[in-house]
Amino acid sequence: MLILNSLLRGGIAFIIMGGIALLLYFQGDYSNARSTFLVAIIVFLVAAASVIYDLDHWTLFKRSIIHSLVMVITIYPILLLSGWFSVSSMSDALWILLLVLLVGAVLWSIFMVLAKIFSW
């Protein structure tokens, strides 16, 4: 059931973003189509991995660490290969990794506050 929920969460977002990418491609806007398709993959991965937080028998700490590792393992390589960042040295790649970790921490913090406010 967890895998089905993961595919459903990620798949819906992917279909929407993938559809937009397809429309851009057929309009001849190849660069934006490629970027939108990469975003579709990222959104799929983030949404699919969110089922980790449904595992109530795990502590919040464990769920957060596992989710963060999944994000770094999946999103980070996409960012390195996407062309959105200049990656001409190892220090560039490390700065991107730092950015991924920082953005992840900020988003995690925001969603934890919202979860408390709205009792999610």
Residue-range domain boundaries for the chain: 2-118
pLDDT at 54 over 90: yes
Above pLDDT 70, what percent of the chain?
100
pTM for this structure? Answer: 0.87
Closest C-alpha to 49, from 72, 15, 17: 72
pLDDT in tens, 67-81: 999 999 999 999 999
pLDDT at 120 over 90: no
CB 56 within 8 A of CB 75: no
pLDDT at 42 over 90: yes
Average pLDDT over residues 57-63: 95
Name the pLDDT band for 86 (thresholds 50, 70, 90).
very high
